[in-house]
Amino acid sequence: PVGEAELRGIGARVGLRLPGLLGPGTRAEIWSSGVQRASDSAEAFRSGLAAGAPSTTVGEVEADPRLLRFDKTDPEYARFIADDVAATQAVRRVAESAPVQAASRHVLERVFTPAYVSTLDDPAAAALSLWNLYAIVPGMGGATSADFSAFVSHSDAVALGTLHDADYFYRRGPSFSGQDDTYRAARVLLDDFFAAVHRRLKGGATAGVFRFAHAEQLIPFSALVGLPGSTQQVTPGRPYSAADNPWRGGLVSPLGGNVQWDVFRDDRGRVLVRVLQNERQVPVAERCRPAPGTRLYYRLTELRRCLR
C-alpha cells in the first residue's frame, strides 16, 4: 500500500540523512500508541530504518499509550473537552452552516434514502464518517480498489473538510487566544523528547527514539512547539476560517505526518537541534532564538528555556 511505502521511505531517509548518528554500537527505539494502525505504521517505518541505517540495532516496536495517547490519559484535558462550551459552540456553528448541511445531505443521500437521512439527529457527523473513509483511501492505494469519490464529490469533500478542520482546530490545535488547554497535555511528549536527548548526551547507546501516534497527538504537539502553520489563534468574534488562517489539518497532520529533532554536538561541546516538520527543516516558536550564526539551528538549552 502507498501508506506503508511512504513510511518505509521516511525510515530509510532518516538513516541516509544521519549516518554519523545511527552508526555501529547504537540502537534505535520504536514506540507506538498501541493502536493497531499506529503499530502498523511503526513496523513499516522500522523496516525502512533498518535498511537505511544497517549499522544500528533497531528494536522491536513497543507500546506506550500513556505517552502516545495523552489525550485519553490526561484527566485535565478530559475535563477541558467536557467543559469547553466555546469550542463546542464554534464547531457546531460550522456543522450547522448551509454549505456543510448541504454537503452532508448530498453525501448521505448517495448511500441512504432521503427519508432515512431526514431522521438523523446529526447528519453532519454521519457524513463526516464517510468523508474520513474518503480521506484515507489514497493511502491504501495498492491494497484496495475502493473509490469513495462515488459518494463524496470534490465540492462536498471541501465543505466537510472545513468541519473536520474546525473540530481539530478548536479542540486540538491553536483554538482561542489566551488559552493553551488544547495543547498543554502535549508537554508530556515534549518532556520525553528532552529526556531522550539527555540520556544520549549522558552516554546512552540509544541514538534514535521514534514514536508513532495520531493526529490527536501531532496537532497539539505542533502547536506547543510553535511549528509553522500551527499557532495562529482566533477570537470568538473572528472565528477560524481558511480564508485568513494558515492552519490546515492536512498540512499540520497529513497521513505520514511527522516531527523530527536531529541533535548534534559541535567541537566546542554545544548541543544544537534542528527541527523537521514532514522532513523539511523549519523554525519553531518565535520566542525561541536560533543559535548564533545560524537561522534554523537551536541550542538545546534555548529550547528548554523557550518551550518549557
The candidate with the shortest Cα–Cα distance to 218, out of 163, 166, 161, 278, is: 278
Domain end (from 153, 172, 191): 172
**Is residue 294 assigned to a domain?**
yes
Cα-to-chain-centroid distance, residue 201: 27
**CA angle in degrees (0–180, nearest 5) for 160-161-165:** 120
Is residue 4, in this structure, part of any structural domain at all? no
- Does any domain span residue 69? no
Tell me whether residue 18 is in a domain: no
Instruction: Using CA atoms of 152, 158, 159, 163 in order, give the dihedral in degrees to the nearest 10.
Output: 110
Residue 116: domain span: 83-172
Q: Is residue 107 part of a domain?
A: yes
Q: In sequence order, what are the residues at sequence separation of 6 or more whose Cβ sits closer than 8 angstroms to the Cβ of residue 240?
A: 90, 165, 166, 169, 170, 234, 247
d(CA 163, CA 94): 6
- Which one of 172, 199, 230 terminates a domain? 172
What is the residue whose three cell numbers read 481539530? 168
Predicted pLDDT at 201: 95
Does a structural domain hold residue 155? yes
pLDDT score recorded for residue 148: 79
DSSP states of 147-189: -GGGTS-HHHHHHHHHHHHHHHHHHTSS-BTT--TTTGGGHHH
β-pair partners for 29: 209
**Which of 172, 194, 223 is the C-terminal boundary of a domain?**
172
| Within-domain flag for 121 | yes
Strands 57-63 and 27-32: parallel
Helices (H) and strands (E) in the chain, counts: 14, 7
> Is 0.85 topped by the overall pTM?
yes
Local mean pLDDT, 10-residue blocks, the chain (308 residues)? 93 94 95 97 98 96 97 92 92 97 98 97 96 86 77 95 97 96 96 98 96 98 98 96 94 95 92 98 98 95 96
In a domain, 3, yes or no: no
Number of domains in the chain: 2
Between CA 100 and CA 105, with CA 101 as vertex, the angle to 5 degrees is 115
Q: Which helix (H) or strand (E) holds 212?
A: strand 206-212
Phi and psi angles of residue 151, each rounded to the nearest 5 degrees, phi first: -110, -25
